[in-house]
Chain A
Amino acid sequence: MRWPLPLILGAGLTLFFVAAAALSFVWVPHAITDLSIGDKLQPSSASYPLGTDHFGRDLLSMLMVGARTSIAVAVVAVGIGIAGGVPLGLAAAAHRGSLLDEVIMRGNDLIFAFPSLVIAILITAVLGPSALNAILAIGIFNIPVFARVARGGALSLWTLDFILAARVAGKGTARISAEHILPNIANLLIVQGTIQFSLGILAEAGLSYVGLGAQPPTASWGRMLADAQTMIYSAPRLAILPGLAIVLMVLGLNLMGDGLRDLLDPRVRRARS
C-alpha cells in the first residue's frame, strides 16, 4: 500500500523533533545551565547557530531540551487519557443505557466543563506550579476525549452480528470488549492519539507561557516565549524561533494524524483499492 504524502511529511517532521529531543539527552551544543551574560543576545554564529538569549544561553540547545519537555508532557498526558478514558468508554458502550453508562457520560460532560487551563489553575493554586501540573491538567482533560471516541466507536460495533455470535459462543462483555471491540477501534484511538498529542503540545506551551507549567531551569518552548515577550522589539528572533518550533511540531503531528486516518480508515481504504 502507498503511504499518503501527508503521512510521509508529518512523520518526517515528527521524527525530526523526536530525534532532536532524544539527542538532547546525550549532547547539546552548550549546556543550558551555562549562563554567560557576556554572550547575551548574540546573533547566530558558528559557536551559537541560532544565537543566544538574554542570559547568554544557546538558543538551539534550549530548543532541543524544550522539545524534550513538550514531547514528554504530551505523551504522558495522552497516556493518561488513553489509560483512563478507553476502559471507561468501552464499559459505557458495553452497558449502553445503563446507570453505569449514564454516570460515565455525565462525568465526562463534567470534565469537559473544565478546560485544561482551568484544571491547571486549580492544581497550581493549591500545589504550586510545576511541569507535573501541566501533565495532570492536560491528561485529565484527555480522559473524556478518549472515553467518547472509544464509546462512539464501540457502540456502532456492538450492533454488529459478530458480537452477537461471540455472545452465542458464551463470551462475556469484558472479553468481547477486549477481543472484538478494542482491535476494531484501535484505528480511531491511534488517530485521536496523534490529535491529542498535538493539542497537548499546544496546551503545554500555553500553560508554560502563563507560568502554570514547566518552571525554570527546565527549558520549555512556552516558557521561552514568555521570556522573549519583553524583548520582542529588541530581539524578535527569540520570540519567533520557539513559536516556529511549536508550529512545525504540531503541523507534523496533525499531518501524520490525517495521513494515518486515510491509511487506516477502512472506508477510505476500500475506495482506494
Chain B
Amino acid sequence: MIRVRNLSMSIHGVPVLRELSFDIARGEVFGLVGESGSGKSMTALALMRLLPDGSTVTGSAKLGEVDLMTGSEARICAIRGSRIGMIFQEPMTALNPVQTIGDQVAETLVIHGRTGRAEALRAARARLDRVGLPAAEFPLSRFPHELSGGQRQRVCIAMAIALRPDLLIADEPTTALDVSTQAQILDLLKGLVEEERMGLMLITHDLAVVAGMADRLAVMQKGEVVEQGATEDLFRNMRHPYTRQLFEASGHRPAQTAQAAGSGLLEVDKAVRDYSRRGRGLIRPAAPFRAVNRVSFEIGRGESLGLVGESGCGKSTLTRAILGLEPLQGGTITLDGERIQAGRAMPAHMRRKMQIVFQDPYGSFNPRWKVGHLVAEPFHLSDRPVDIAARVADALREVGLAPEDAQKYIHEFSGGQRQRIAIARALIMRPELIVLDEAVSALDVRVRAQILDLLADLRAAHGLAYLFISHDLNVVRAITDRVLVMKAGEIVEQGATETVLAAPSHPYTQQLIAASPVIPAQWRDEGGQHGRPLV
C-alpha cells in the first residue's frame, strides 16, 4: 500500500536519512526501531511531508499512485489526516489547550470537507467512543487539560483515525505513558488495525514493544535501515551486529556479586507526607492530599533496593522526605540511628551520607559551571579539603571519564556522559546511600547497559547502598536485591526482587508485570546464542 524507495533526506546538507526502502501493507503493523538520533522520527515526518526548514529529499514514497515526495502541497494536505494519520510522543502538548476535544476531533472531518460541523461532531462522538472515551464521562465539551496523558493520547488517536486512514503513523505513542496505560493504548492500536484494516507504522525505541506488536520490523541506525524482516524471524536470526547489540543491551544485567545486606542503614517508619491542595481556597481550605501513607521499609548497608510504581504514586515525594528536603507529617525516617529532619535542621554529617542521581541528564547541572565545580558542589557539606582537584579527578576517573574533563562545561557531554558526571558528583562525598531517581530512564539502551554496569561496579567497590527508583521492571530486575511496589502512596508489596517479579502476590504487582511488554522467551533463547550469554 505504501512503497518507500531509496528515500534520502538531508537538512542543510547534513544527511539524516539514507536510501530507505520499505513497504507497509494494509492491516499490517510495521515496527521501526532505533536509538535516539537514528532518524526514525524523521522518517515519519518525511512520509507526512512535515519537514523541517532547509531539508531536501530524494527517492520516492508512494501511497497508491500518489508520490508523497513530489505531490503539490495542496495535494499532500488533502492526504494528511485523511489517508495518513499520525500520533506523536507527547500527548500532554499535542492538543490545542483552548479548544474542546470534540472540536479538535471534528476538525479532521471538517477540514477535509466531508461533512458539516454538526455531522462532524456526531462522527467525532462515535470515534471518541471507539477509542474508549465514552460520552458520559468524556463529553465533547471537555478541554484537554481536564484529561490524563493516556486519555489525551486516545483523543489524538481518535483525531488521527477519524477519516479511517490507510496508514496510521505512531511515533513513540506510549513512551510518555505509564506501563498500564501503555498496554491499553497498544491494545487499542492493535484492535484498530484489525478492525479498520489500516496499516500501522509503529516507531519506538523499545524492542519489547515492537516484539509484541509488529508483524514486520525494521532496525534503524544513523539514518539507515540496517535490517528488516518479519518480526519473529528477525529476532531469531539477528543478522546485523547492531540489532544484536540493541537486543543484548535491552536485556542486559550486570554481573553481580551477591552481597549480603549489612546492618540497617535507613529506616522508614510509618512515614506520612501530606500536601495542602493549592489553589482551592482562602475561604474554605481543602482537605490535604496524602501523597505518602504510612510507608515503612528498611535499607541495609550495601543493599540495593528497588522502588517501583507509576507516575503520581508518591515515589518522588517519598524520596524528597528521605533526602531531608521536605518534612513528614507523621512517622519517622532514621539514617544510621539518627532522625532525618527537613531543611536546615538536618546536620551536614547526615546529609553527607546520602546523595542523589536524577533522571534528566540535561536539567541536572548548572550550565554555567565547569564540571570540576559541579562535581565538587557536595563539598559544601564539609570543610573544603585542600586536595579538592585530586578528589574530583579521582571521582571522574572512577566513573570512566578523564580528569581533564573537569575543565569543560556540561554542554560538551552526551547524555550518558552526563549521567556519569552525576554519579561522580554523588560519589565524591563517599556517601553510604545513593538515591537513583529514574537514573537510566532517559538513556538509550546501549548507554543504559553501560551505566548499569558502572553502578554495579561502584557498589561492589564501595559497599554503597542504592535506592533505585524506576518504572521499568527490567531495569529493577537488573540492579536490585529487593523491591518495593508502591501504589497511591502505599507500599503494596515488598520482597526479594526475583521472587516478587516471578511470583507477585498483590494484584497490582501482577497487573504491572502483565502490562510490561517482553520479548517472548523462546526468541530470546535463540537470539542469545548469537551473542554473549545473557547471564
A–B in direct contact per CB < 8 Å: yes
Which residue numbers of A lie inside 8 Å of B, CB to CB?
97, 160-162, 164-172, 180, 183-184, 266
Residue in A97, A165, A168, A266 whose beta carbon sits within 8 Å of that of B354 in the complex: A168
Q: How far is the CB of A244 from chain B (nearest CB, A)?
A: 39
Residues of B within 8 A of A (CB): 278, 323, 325, 344, 346, 348, 351, 354-356, 358-360, 363-368, 377-378, 380-381, 422, 425
Across the interface, do B368 and A168 meet the contact criterion of CB distance under 8 Å? no
Residues of B within 8 A of A180 (CB): 366
Are A168 and B355 in touch, CB under 8 angstroms?
yes
Contact at A172–B358, with CB atoms within 8 Å? no
What residues on A are CB-neighbors of B323 within 8 Å?
167-168
Give A169 to B368 CA distance when docked, in angstroms: 18
* A97 partner, pick from B278, B358, B363, B422, beta carbons under 8 A: B278
Residue in contact with A165 in the complex, picked from B278, B344, B346, B358, CB distance below 8 Å: B358
Note all chain A residues with C-beta closer than 8 A to B351: 168-170
Is B356 touching A165 in the complex (CB atoms < 8 A)?
Answer: yes
Are A169 and B366 in touch, CB under 8 angstroms?
Answer: no
CB contacts (< 8 Å) of B363 on chain A: these are 160-162
Question: Nearest chain B CB to A137's CB is how many angstroms away?
Answer: 34
A184 vs B344: C-alpha distance when bound (angstroms): 25
Residues of B within 8 A of A171 (CB): 380
In the complex, A169 Cα to B376 Cα: how many Å? 10
Kindly list chain A residues whose C-beta atoms are within 8 Å of the C-beta of B367.
184, 266
The one of A160, A162, A169, A183 that contacts B380, using a Cβ cutoff of 8 Å: A169
Q: Smallest CB–CB gap between B350 and chain A, Å?
A: 9
Across-interface contacts of A160 in B (CB, < 8 A): 363-364
Give the distance to chain A from B39, nearest Cβ to Cβ, in Å. Answer: 20
Chain A residue contacts of B368, Cβ below 8 A: 183-184
Counting chain A CB atoms within 10 Å of each CB, the highest count among B346, B358, B365, B377 belongs to: B377
Smallest Cβ-Cβ distance to A167: which chain B residue? B325
Residues in A whose Cβ lies below 8 Å from that of B359? 161
B377 touches A165 (CB 8 A): yes
With A97-B278, A170-B348, A172-B344 as known contacts, state yes or no: A161 contacts B364, CB within 8 Å. Answer: yes
Residues of B within 8 A of A161 (CB): 358-360, 363-364
* Distance of B75 from chain A, by nearest CB (Å): 31
> Nearest-CB distance from B420 to chain A (Å)?
15
Note all chain B residues with C-beta closer than 8 A to A183.
Answer: 366, 368
User: Are the CB atoms of A168 and B356 closer together than 8 Å?
Assistant: yes
Task: Specify the chain B residue showing the minimal Cβ separation from A180.
Answer: B366
Closest to B351 in A: A170
A166 contact set on B, CB distance < 8 A: 377
B364 and A169 within 8 A (CB): no
Q: Which residue of B lies closest to A266 (CB)?
A: B367
Complex Cα–Cα for A172 and B351 (A): 13
Query: In the complex, A165 Cα to B425 Cα: how many Å?
Result: 9
Q: Which of A170, A172, A184, A266 contacts B366 (CB 8 A)?
A: A184
Which chain A residues border B366 with CB–CB below 8 Å?
162, 180, 183-184
Q: Which residues of B have CB within 8 Å of A164?
A: 325, 356, 358
Least Cβ–Cβ distance between B382 and chain A, in angstroms: 10
How near does chain B come to A159, taking the closest CB pair, in angstroms?
8
A244, B40: Cα distance in complex, Å: 56
- Whole-angstrom CA separation of A266 from B425 in the bound complex: 25
- 4 closest A-B pairs by beta carbon, nearest first, are A161-B358, A160-B363, A161-B364, A169-B378
Q: B346 — which chain A residues lie within 8 A by C-beta?
A: 170
Contacts of A170 in B (CB 8 A): 346, 348, 351, 380-381
Q: How far is the CB of B286 from chain A (nearest CB, A)?
A: 14
What are 7 A-B interface contacts by the 8 Å CB criterion? A161-B359, A161-B364, A162-B363, A168-B323, A169-B381, A170-B381, A266-B367
Q: A168-B354, A168-B356 given; name 5 further pairs at CB < 8 Å.
A: A162-B365, A165-B364, A165-B365, A167-B323, A170-B381
B276 to chain A, nearest CB (A): 10
- Which residues from chain A contact B348 at a C-beta distance below 8 Å? 170
How far is A107 from B366 in the complex, measured between Cα atoms in Å? 31
C-alpha spacing A273/B328, complex, angstroms: 47
The smallest C-beta distance from A216 to any residue of chain B, in angstroms, reads: 48
A166, B376: Cα distance in complex, Å: 11
Residue of A nearest to B437 (CB): A161
Could you tell me the distance between the alpha carbons of A166 and B358 in the complex, rounded to whole angstroms?
12
Bound state CA distance, A183 and B363, in angstroms?
15
Q: Within 8 Å CB of B381, what residues of A?
A: 169-170
Q: Cβ of A168 and Cβ of B325 under 8 Å apart?
A: yes
Residues of chain A with a CB closer than 8 A to B380's CB: 169-171
Using CB atoms, name the residue of chain A closest to B376.
A169
Q: In the assembly, what is the distance between CA of A128 and CA of B363, in Å?
A: 53
Chain A residues with CB under 8 Å of B365's CB are 162, 165
For B343, the closest partner residue in chain A by CB is A172
Closest to B350 in A: A170
Q: How many angstroms from the CA of A97 to the CA of B355 in the assembled complex?
A: 27
Alpha-carbon separation in the docked complex, A97 to B276 (Å): 11
Q: Which residue of A lies closest to B365 (CB)?
A: A162
Q: How far is the CB of B37 from chain A (nearest CB, A)?
A: 15
Smallest CB separation, A259 vs chain B (Å): 21
CB of A64 to closest CB in B, whole Å: 40
Shortest distance from the beta carbon of A162 to any chain B beta carbon, whole Å: 5
User: Shortest CB–CB separation between residue B139 and chain A, in angstroms?
Assistant: 32
Q: A172 to chain B: which residues have CB within 8 Å?
A: 344
Question: Cα distance A184–B369 when bound, in Å?
Answer: 10
B78 CB → nearest A CB, Å: 32
Chain B residues closer than 8 Å to A167, beta-carbon distance: 323, 325
Assembled-state Cα–Cα distance A162/B418 (Å): 12
A82-B401 Cα distance, complex, nearest whole Å: 41
B340, chain A: closest CB distance, angstroms: 12
A184 to B368, CA, bound (A): 7
* Minimum Cβ distance to chain B for residue A167 (Å): 5
| Minimum C-beta distance from B354 to chain A (A) | 7
In the complex, which residue of chain A has the Cβ closest to the Cβ of B276?
A97
Q: Is the CB of B278 within 8 A of A162?
A: no
Chain B residue nearest to A186 in the complex (CB) = B368
Q: Return the chain A residue nearest B378 by Cβ.
A: A169
CA distance A187 to B185 in the complex (A): 43
Q: How far is the CA of A167 from the CA of B351 in the complex (A)?
A: 10
A168, chain B: closest CB distance, angstroms: 5
**Alpha-carbon distance A212/B378, docked complex (angstroms):** 54
Least distance between A173 CB and chain B CB atoms (Å): 9
> Within the complex, what minimum Cβ distance (angstroms) separates A54 from chain B?
55
CB neighbours of B378 from chain A (8 A): 168-169
A169 touching B358 in the complex, CB below 8 Å, given contacts A160-B363, A162-B366, A266-B367? no
